[in-house]
């Protein structure tokens, strides 16, 4: 935890309210996000119990599996989910704009520009908490290898038609969510915790109710109190007043309310199956419908508060203006969405169960680059984030007090002006450390040339509060002429902010193609990788 976050959290504790950790919004928010509040069944990984899903905060669609262990009911749930999610996703696939991309020409091996489609907007899925993202991934994993009766008439448990496709999309969302700064799939707790510092631990911040209580406590109450209540308060029946955001449910709810309701549903179903004539069946069908309605009501009672909380979180986030470089990152999300749309359209097989060596290395490289980009962009977009970096010695801001023209010692001397900056920050500058500032949206590089008054510990800065005098040599972005271009060198009196970190992380080298995987990494993937994978085989232990 950085020093400034520690400070913000301490302030939150003493004031009883969350402190802002950002002055702008650092994630893209769609005008029409799809909110997904899922619940799972205790004791079985990834068995859905129900969900609220939709784009209209006043009219969520309630999906429920009245008996979560019933495979048919589970498929019905997934099919219904597909009916909500896929039309939403498809709604973004049609509107495209022309864009350019550099590709390697297979014949000449040269990098050429090609005209391609880029979707004008992309879908955005929002779940309440990080565990929700894991469930999205798990659902995707459980569905994408399923075969429909149409694909394979022999398959023992055919999936409803659009379920495998939903699995591929959820997998894509889940993978994209691992890329730092991406916004295709967001967890509300993560986004809120990025923008506010609360007086509780980061683990406690994963409770959406408690987090919102810190950020926007009810009138006349402190955040700490409200958060405590959100976490622990129970009603007369021993049920949590603010149900957990899921997908796991509270054990008291499972034991006291849910289990009996599911049991009633089971009994009604057994009774219906045993009905001997139409009249009896009619009556028993009524009982079954009533039992199912009970389970649905229970699921709704636990998801609706979370649903409302997610939308409240969206309201809070929308009050913040969007950071300047958020749009650029969202464009990358649009590329990601367009790419997967094209793979689906081209009839490519679902994402493999495991990445091969080259894919894994490529993904890691992309994520590391995006992480560096995100950290730099957040600081450049937001003075409060930059303040944290300055406090950590990774940036400094100050006033230009002197500019001396100088030239490089080469045959054709280029301008290398020396700029002296007075700052109260304490950057960790070493000999010839490179520093960067933004000039017309592009980074300009300078080199640390020394301290004017002997440095941070020569006594120059204590007492007389003159700050540090840092001499920088500007290195680039001054044009080709002998004299620097107008406005490319800071002038006396200018306020400047230099960072020690690069603004645009450099890409690494291109990795070999998967079919050229070297011997150190097991050689090219074998033949088995060429045939599409099947879902996990059904075993004796598969009761469900």
Residues at the interface with another protein (CB under 8 A): 3, 6, 178, 180, 354-358, 360-361, 363-365, 367-368, 371-372, 392-393, 428, 432, 455-458, 508-512, 516-523
Closer residue to another protein in complex, CB, 129/517: 517
Q: How far apart are CA 114 and CA 338, in angstroms?
A: 15
- Dihedral of the CA atoms 7, 11, 17, 21 (nearest 10)? -30
Q: How far is the CB of 154 from another protein (least distance, A)?
A: 32
Closer residue to another protein in complex, CB, 221/521: 521
Q: How far is the CB of 373 from another protein (least distance, A)?
A: 12
Which tokens belong to 203? 């683990």
Q: How far apart are CA 157 and CA 149, in angstroms?
A: 8
Q: How far apart are CA 497 and CA 477, in angstroms?
A: 16
Q: Pick the closest to residue 339 from 118, 186, 149, 506 (CA basis).
A: 118
**Strands, DSSP E only, in 34-77?**
34-40, 48-54, 61-64
Burial of 35-68, coded b for 16+ CB within 10 Å and e otherwise, reads bbbbbbbbeeebbbbbbbbbbeeeebebbbbbbb
Q: How far is the CB of 353 from another protein (least distance, A)?
A: 11
Closer residue to another protein in complex, CB, 411/510: 510
Q: How far is the CB of 375 from another protein (least distance, A)?
A: 9
Closer residue to another protein in complex, CB, 299/475: 475
Half-sphere exposure of 280 (CA within 13 A, CB side): 10
The helix-helix angle for 3-15 and 383-391 (nearest 10°) equals 120
Secondary structure (DSSP) of 135-187: HHHHHHHHHTT--BTTT-TT-SSPBPTTHHHHHHHHHHHHHHTTSTT--SEEE
Q: How far is the CB of 422 from another protein (least distance, A)?
A: 19
Q: How far is the CB of 1 from another protein (least distance, A)?
A: 10
Closer residue to another protein in complex, CB, 69/426: 426
Closer residue to another protein in complex, CB, 4/81: 4
Closer residue to another protein in complex, CB, 4/84: 4
Q: How far is the CB of 168 from another protein (least distance, A)?
A: 17
Which tokens belong to 423? 């700052």
């Amino acid at each position: 935890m950085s020093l400034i976050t520690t400070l913000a959290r301490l302030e939150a504790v003493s004031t009883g309210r969350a402190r802002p950790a950002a002055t702008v919004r650092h994630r893209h928010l769609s005008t029409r996000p799809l909110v997904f509040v899922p619940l799972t069944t205790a004791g079985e990984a990834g068995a859905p119990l129900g969900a609220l899903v939709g784009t209209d905060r006043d009219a969520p669609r309630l999906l429920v599996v009245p008996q979560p262990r019933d495979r048919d009911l589970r498929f019905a749930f997934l099919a219904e989910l597909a009916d909500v999610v896929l039309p939403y996703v498809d709604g973004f696939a049609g509107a495209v704009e022309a864009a350019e991309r550099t590709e390697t020409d297979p014949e000449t091996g040269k990098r050429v520009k090609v005209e391609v489609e880029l979707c004008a907007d992309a879908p955005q899925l929002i779940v309440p908490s990080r565990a929700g993202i894991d469930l999205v991934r798990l659902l995707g994993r459980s569905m994408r290898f399923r075969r429909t009766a149409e694909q394979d008439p022999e398959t023992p448990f055919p999936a409803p038609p659009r379920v495998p496709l939903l699995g591929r999309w959820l997998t894509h969302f889940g993978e994209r969510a691992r890329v730092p700064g991406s916004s295709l799939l967001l967890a509300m707790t993560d986004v809120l915790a990025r923008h506010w510092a609360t007086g509780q631990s980061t683990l406690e911040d994963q409770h959406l109710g408690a987090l919102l209580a810190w950020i926007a406590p009810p009138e006349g109450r402190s955040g700490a109190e409200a958060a405590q209540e959100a976490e622990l308060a129970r009603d007369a029946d021993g049920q949590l007043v603010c149900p957990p955001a899921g997908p796991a449910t509270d054990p008291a709810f499972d034991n006291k309310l849910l289990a009996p309701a599911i049991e009633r549903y089971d009994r009604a179903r057994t009774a219906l199956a045993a009905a001997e004539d139409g009249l009896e069946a009619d009556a028993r069908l009524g009982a079954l419908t009533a039992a199912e309605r009970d389970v649905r009501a229970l699921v709704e009672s636990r998801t609706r508060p979370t649903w409302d909380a997610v939308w409240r979180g969206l309201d809070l986030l929308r009050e913040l203006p969007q950071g300047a470089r958020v749009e650029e990152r969202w464009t990358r999300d649009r590329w990601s969405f367009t790419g997967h749309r094209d793979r689906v359209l081209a009839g490519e097989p679902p994402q493999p169960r495991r990445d091969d060596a080259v894919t894994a290395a490529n993904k890691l490289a992309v994520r590391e680059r995006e992480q560096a980009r995100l950290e730099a962009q957040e600081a450049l977009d937001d003075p409060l984030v930059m303040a944290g970096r300055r406090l950590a010695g990774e940036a400094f801001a100050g006033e230009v007090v002197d500019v001396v023209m100088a030239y490089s010692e080469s045959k054709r001397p280029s301008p290398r002006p020396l700029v002296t900056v007075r700052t109260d920050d304490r950057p960790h500058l070493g000999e010839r450390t490179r520093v960067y500032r933004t000039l017309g949206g592009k980074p300009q590089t300078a080199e640390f040339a020394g301290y004017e008054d002997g440095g941070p510990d020569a006594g120059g800065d204590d007492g007389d509060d003159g700050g540090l005098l840092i001499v920088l040599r500007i290195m680039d972005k001054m044009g080709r002429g002998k004299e620097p271009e107008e406005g490319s060198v800071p002038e006396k009196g200018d306020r400047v902010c230099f960072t020690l970190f690069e603004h645009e992380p450099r890409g690494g080298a291109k990795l070999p193609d998967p079919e050229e995987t070297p011997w150190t990494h097991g050689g090219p993937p074998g033949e088995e990788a060429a045939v599409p994978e099947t879902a996990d085989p059904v075993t004796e232990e598969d009761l469900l």
